Amino acid sequence: MSVFTRRDGILHVESVALPAIAARFGTPCFVYSRAALEAAYRAFDEALAGRDHLICYAMKANSSLAILDVLAQLGSGFDIVSGGELARALAAGADPGKIVFSGIGKTEFEIRTALEAGILCFNVESAAELARIARLAADLKKRAPVSLRVNPDVDPMTHPYISTGLKENKFGVAYEDALRLYRDAAASPHLDVAGLDFHIGSQLTDVAPFVDAFDRVLDLVDTLAREGIRLRHLDIGGGLGIRYRAEQPPEVADYVRAMLAQLGDRPHKVLLEPGRALVGNAGLLLTRVEYLKPGAHRNFAIVDAAMNDLMRPALYDAWHDIAPVVQRSSAKQRYDVVGPVCESGDFIGRSRDLAVAEGDLLAVMSAGAYGMSMSSNYNARPRAAEILVDGGAMHQIRARESLESLYAGERRLPR
């Protein structure tokens, strides 16, 4: 299903024409489709039907309240990585009993707040963290539900993808240490051994590394069961890729089927932490061409969105399709589409063939994940507005930041 369609040459999101959004809310702005978001969630949910499961949306991908709200209404849980994300999830109406807390640097304050909120599980990433959680739970006279994030050390020579599940990565506990840590946890009166989790990387476009990783950790799960340490859930992480350009990631159903085949008839509840796969292709960044700057070596299309709005091209050399909102019949020229920020790395897309003129609108596609959530105020640029389209309705779900808000928390020195 595509919710991004052209009608009479004009790009629409569901039934709303993008020029109408620009006219009403200005640019740059992120535009999301509720239908696309819901379809992406349902693809996971339906693939897991018949199996006890919980989708914990990795909200770092896009933590705007309305996005969380739409997913929470569908029954989604959340994967959080900070006290800030916990506060956002609760403000959006999330059920704390559906929240898992990942991340290698959980502070005492964050752990205490999450214990008091009654989250589903801590995804523990080190022995030191496990000890800290046990101590804080004892202070609060609680038992903390824990899962160990096991690092399966999936071989990068076989699967050369960006990976977080390798020995040299900072995430998770080493496979060899996991058994001992589970025994420690099971012996603690303040820890409730709930599950096991792993997450091997992001934007994976092949199921093989997922299956390899699951295969490895399932050995551990079986060993634990033989010792009488029975886990309630297995959290298979996130990381399923999306199509930005020519990638051909597995269908959600195929990925889930492969994982469930590995699991077999083991009784565990399955948790997943998809981020990008839920929101990435449900959103775009709408921007306007401020200037055209032809040159002897390169032509630049200077737009009003920049690396502070969408950091992925500058940070990862990531590709996002750039589509004119209204098609022109004039000849295309090759442009670097760049923002106004004072860095040569501030580009949205390089060497794009476009027929554009000053004032034209461009849609930067696949910007729903790791767009707004990674934005900054660099160059004292207010963060963009966010609009959620629902059928024919456009809802402003975040106002454009005001100039005053940029320095609202700051103080000059006393005179």
Residue 342 annotated in active site: yes
Q: Which two tokens stand for residue 167?
A: 């020995």
**Footprint (CB under 6 A) of ligand LLP, residues 84-123:** 102
Neighbouring-strand partners of residue 333: 354
CB of 15 to ligand LLP, least distance (A): 28
- Sign of the four-CA dihedral 254, 255, 261, 266: negative
167 CB neighbour count, 10 Å cutoff: 11
Q: Find the binder of ligand LLP among 18, 36, 61, 111 (CB under 6 A).
A: 61
Contact pattern for ligand LLP over residues 275 through 314, marking x by CB under 6 A: xxx----------------------------------x--
Say whether residue 151 binds ligand LLP (CB under 6 A).
no
403 CB neighbour count, 10 Å cutoff: 9
The DSSP result for 42-93, as a single string, is HHHHHHTTTS-EEEEEEGGG---HHHHHHHHHTT-EEEE-SHHHHHHHHHTT
Q: Which member of 29, 56, 121, 342 is catalytic?
A: 342
What is the pairing mode between strands 29-33 and 385-390? parallel
Contact pattern for ligand LLP over residues 351 through 370, marking x by CB under 6 A: -------------------x
Say whether residue 58 binds ligand LLP (CB under 6 A).
yes
Provide the 8-state DSSP code for 384: P
Say whether residue 152 binds ligand LLP (CB under 6 A).
no
Q: Which stretch binds ligand LLP (CB under 6 A): 28-36, 45-53, 247-255, 267-275?
A: 267-275
Q: Which stretch binds ligand LLP (CB under 6 A): 219-227, 238-246, 350-358, 375-383?
A: 238-246
User: Closer CB to ligand LLP, residue 313 or residue 339?
Assistant: 313
Asked if 276 contacts 369 with a C-beta cutoff of 8 angstroms, the reply is yes
Q: Which stretch binds ligand LLP (CB under 6 A): 269-277, 348-356, 379-387, 401-409?
A: 269-277
Asked if 320 contacts 348 with a C-beta cutoff of 8 angstroms, the reply is yes
Q: How far apart are CA 230 and CA 188, in angstroms?
A: 15
The residues carrying an active-site annotation are 342
Rule CB under 6 A: which residues touch ligand LLP? 58, 61, 79, 102, 199, 202-203, 237-240, 273-277, 312, 370
